[in-house]
Amino acid sequence: SQQGEEDPQALSIQEGENATMNCSYKTSINNLQWYRQNSGRGLVHLILIRSNEREKHSGRLRVTLDTSKKSSSLLITASRAADTASYFCATQGAQKLVFGQGTRLTINP
Amino acid sequence: GAVVSQHPSRVICKSGTSVKIECRSLDFQATTMFWYRQFPKQSLMLMATSNEGSKATYEQGVEKDKFLINHASLTLSTLTVTSAHPEDSSFYICSARGPVRADTQYFGPGTRLTVL
């Protein structure tokens, strides 16, 4: 069963604005990962945050993890048209990587 | 970074035929490979996990006799969709994990299967 639930399901913003996506999960995890998927394409790994980390940055991406609330957020700053894609969180347990439902992000020029 | 390839990228077949999809790790040894299925506008659902040289472990609800998985070497896993039907049309994605970084999976580009 899917473990991650993402919010919102769809997000449409203007270029230059920041985009925030949230992910909640149900059980304990080793790490949480965020991926991007352009329409009809494969996955691109964005960032991995371990269960003992609270925040991580990579370029314009900022990920937070709150294990007490079992939630994570992905912030994309200064969005660009090329950021238009679906974004998935995925939780890594002992063996499996389980994906959330995803957020469909549209950046309007 | 590590590269995983899939072949073919797209395949169209007639209902009732079997289709084989290959997943290769190009520059590392994949001790574990995973197969996912993704329907349009939906998330990835794990179908099965395969370890080199042993039988695949299938997720609940996935028919092992319909989706045959072979992980015969450390760089190759195959998924065969047997007696394919239109409802099997989907995007199939594999991923591979090496022995060193157990928390990292490397994803292939996916295979679009259309069953007529």
SS3 content of chain B, % helix, strand, coil (to 5): 5, 50, 45
Write out pLDDT tens, residues A12-68. 999 999 999 999 999 899 999 999 999 888 899 999 999 999 999 999 999 999 999
Write out pLDDT tens, residues B25-53. 998 888 899 999 999 889 999 999 998 88
**Overall average pLDDT of the A1-10 stretch:** 76
Query: Does B109 contact A96 at a Cβ distance shorter than 8 Å?
Result: no
How far is residue B10's CA from residue A38's CA, in Å, rounded to a whole number?
Answer: 16
A30, A40, A42 ranked by CB distance to B103: nearest:
A30
pLDDT at A72 over 70: yes
Identify the residue with better confidence: A5 or A50. Answer: A50
Give the pLDDT of residue A5.
83
**Overall average pLDDT of the B88-115 stretch:** 89
pLDDT at B91 over 90: yes
User: Could you give phi then psi for residue A6, rounded to 5 degrees?
Assistant: -115, 150
Q: Which residue of A has its CA nearest to B44?
A: A99
Give the pLDDT of residue B1.
65
pLDDT at A1 over 50: no
Give the pLDDT of residue A20.
97
Give the pLDDT of residue B99.
72
Output DSSP code: residue B55: P
Write out pLDDT tens, residues B54-75. 889 999 999 999 999 998 888 9
pLDDT at A93 over 90: no
How far is residue A100's CA from residue A90's CA, in Å, rounded to a whole number?
Answer: 6
Helix (H, G, I), strand (E, B) or coil at A81: helix
Q: Are B10 and B30 in contact (CB under 8 A)?
A: no
pLDDT at A74 over 60: yes
> Which of B10, B23, B44, B47 best probes binding to A when mutated, by most A CB atoms within 10 angstroms?
B44
**Mean of the per-residue pLDDT values for chain B?**
92
- How far is the CA of A86 from the CAs of A43, A53, A76, A78, in angstroms? 10, 24, 13, 17
B42, B103, B109 ranked by CB distance to A41: nearest:
B109
